[in-house]
Amino acid sequence: MTTSALNPTTVDKLQKLIRANIDAVDGLRTAADIVDEPAIAKLFHDLAEERASLADDLEGFVTFNGEEAADDGSVAAAVHRTWIQLRGKLTSGDPAGILAEAERGEDHIKAAYEEVIKETAGSPVNATLLEQYRIVKEGHDRIRNLRDTFVEKG
């Protein structure tokens, strides 16, 4: 982690990513609880832990810069989690539908990183953001590939 002071705009952008990671943690845990496939549930739990770790790293930057880190997710993500729960009940835990919803959530966090990376280019935190984006993209792609596998089976 950098010990450099970040400008307030960069700190605000990090707060956005902290919230996106919190949203991802909550969404992935919700999906894990609903999906009727133990291997996919484990993947969701593993990715949730990974996103929690990313949020923790970003929180370190924010608190170093004298701000209190975000500790809650967004209303939109809460609505998405409710949709995942409803879809899970309607499909009796069918992996294809839940994977599709999980991918939508991953699309959101991936886009948030892409936006913040562009907006903070040259920042002392940029290398960390690029590494975190790589991790997020890998998780997104794992979910997408699994979804494609289940769609092909169906």
The 10s digit of each residue's pLDDT in 33-77 is: 889 899 999 999 999 999 999 999 999 999 999 988 887 655 454
Q: Name the DSSP class of 16.
A: H
What CA–CA distance (Å, rounded) separates 67 from 90? 42
Proportion of the chain above pLDDT 70, given as a percent: 82
Q: Name the DSSP class of 36.
A: S
* DSSP-based helix, strand, coil % in the chain, nearest 5: 80, 0, 20
Looking at 1.20.1730.10, 3.40.50.300, 1.20.1260.10, 3.40.50.1370, the CATH number of the domain 8-153 comes to 1.20.1260.10
| Per-residue confidence (pLDDT) for residue 36, from 0 to 100 | 86
Is the confidence at residue 83, as pLDDT, over 60?
no
What CA–CA distance (Å, rounded) separates 51 from 36? 22
Any alpha helices (H) in 5-74, and if so which ranges? 8-34, 38-64
What CA–CA distance (Å, rounded) separates 105 from 99? 10
Q: For the residues 110-134, what does the mean pLDDT come to?
A: 95
